Amino acid sequence: MARVSIRPLLPPGAPASAAELVTGFGLWERGSDDGPRPRVLLNMVSSLDGRGSLEGRSAGLSGPADRELFHALRTAADAVLVGAGTLRTERYGLLIRDSARVRAREEHGFPAQPLAAIATTSVALDPDLPLLASPEARVAILTASTASLEGARASVEYIRAGTAGTLDLHAALVQLRETFGVELVLCEGGPHLAGQLAADGLLDELYLSLSPGLAGADPHAEETLRIIAGVDLDPPVTLELLGVLTSDSHLFLRYRVVSAERVSRETIESSSLAS
Ligand SMILES: NC(=O)c1ccc[n+]([C@@H]2O[C@H](COP(=O)([O-])OP(=O)(O)OC[C@H]3O[C@@H](n4cnc5c(N)ncnc54)[C@H](OP(=O)(O)O)[C@@H]3O)[C@@H](O)[C@H]2O)c1
């Protein structure tokens, strides 16, 4: 496992590895939250001007420290939630491949692999996708459909929640907790799934990696993809800054979602007029 040094700016601290930082965030701890659904963290990467992908992938926005944090967050999760679009374009494989990370999970009493939770309307997933073709992978398909997947070598189970083809994300998360004992979900996107989670008030924390580049508009798409897509969040979801890290001109921002007290459009307009 590579060890990239990341410097905490807020609160200020000594340089540390991604694994040490994730431990410091308390993400291995369980049992403090007894709500009906698991705690949901969203981890996304963006260019400084808001691009969420380059040439259809997020890899071009990433860097060594971002990758380390991405994997360290994964390592502490009970389930990694991803939209089917991201699973297809990013060609997800087995979630934890590094033996030191598997060991860290086992030392905490966790199974070697987090549950891979895939949100899909269509269940049109290629069983040859590396994740679905991995016999060690544990997969839960979250869908409102009655369709099933044929030919996967991974262990696949279904959480069927919702009506009229629309997945009920809250009900699916509650079932993840009840059926699989999931307490901490790490959502890795994509932007449409992240948007629906935000719109439904289901995000608890955002881990946003800001890549030091300006990427402009996507020449191949009508609308340039950002980290949230497909929903108008009005009033906007507001967040409270918990921490800032840096490495090699990348910034890593950690926020808590203040979902219960979303600021109304009127409040924002009146305060900006007053300033
Ligand atoms: N910047 C980042 O951090 C980041 C992170 C992840 C992905 N990306 C990029 O984002 C792009 C993909 O974007 P995207 O927004 O299309 O990804 P996405 O949200 O992963 O995929 C959309 C698809 O996922 C399923 N889905 C999403 N939300 C759902 C919901 N609420 N209920 C049921 N199914 C749901 C549907 O699958 P079906 O089609 O099967 O019905 C939908 O067509 C790629 O270019 C990827 O590289 C960027």
Is the confidence at residue 6, as pLDDT, over 70? Answer: yes
Q: Which residue ranges make up each domain of the chain? A: 39-274
pLDDT score for 244: 98
**What are the DSSP E strand ranges found in the chain?**
7-10, 39-47, 79-83, 115-119, 138-143, 155-160, 162-163, 166-167, 184-187, 205-211, 239-247, 250-257
Is the confidence at residue 76, as pLDDT, over 70? Answer: yes
What pairing do the DSSP bridges indicate for beta strands 250-257 and 239-247?
antiparallel
Q: Could you read off the pLDDT of 18-56 as tens digits, one per residue?
A: 999 999 999 999 988 778 999 999 999 999 999 999 999
Residue 32: alpha-carbon gap to chain centroid: 21
The Å distance, Cα 39 to ligand 1 centre, comes to 20
Nearest CA, atom 37, ligand 1: 120
Q: Could you read off the pLDDT of 210-266 as tens digits, one per residue?
A: 999 999 999 988 889 999 999 999 999 999 999 999 999 999 999 999 964 444 444
Nearest CA, atom 21, ligand 1: 85
Pocket test for ligand 1, best of 193, 203, 228 (most atoms within 8 A of CB): 193
Indicate whether residue 129 lines ligand 1 (CB < 6 A): no
The Å distance, Cα 269 to ligand 1 centre, comes to 32
Q: Rounded to whole angstroms, how far apart are CA atoms 69 and 273?
A: 39
In this prediction the pTM is 0.94
The Å distance, Cα 187 to ligand 1 centre, comes to 11
Pocket test for ligand 1, best of 82, 86, 139, 159 (most atoms within 8 A of CB): 86
Is the confidence at residue 77, as pLDDT, over 90? Answer: yes
- DSSP annotation string for 110-141: --SS-EEEEE-SS----TTSTTTT-TT-EEEE
Q: Which CATH class is domain 39-274?
A: alpha beta
pLDDT score for 274: 44
Q: Could you read off the pLDDT of 119-173 as tens digits, one per residue?
A: 999 999 999 999 999 999 999 999 999 999 999 999 999 999 999 899 999 999 9
pLDDT score for 31: 87
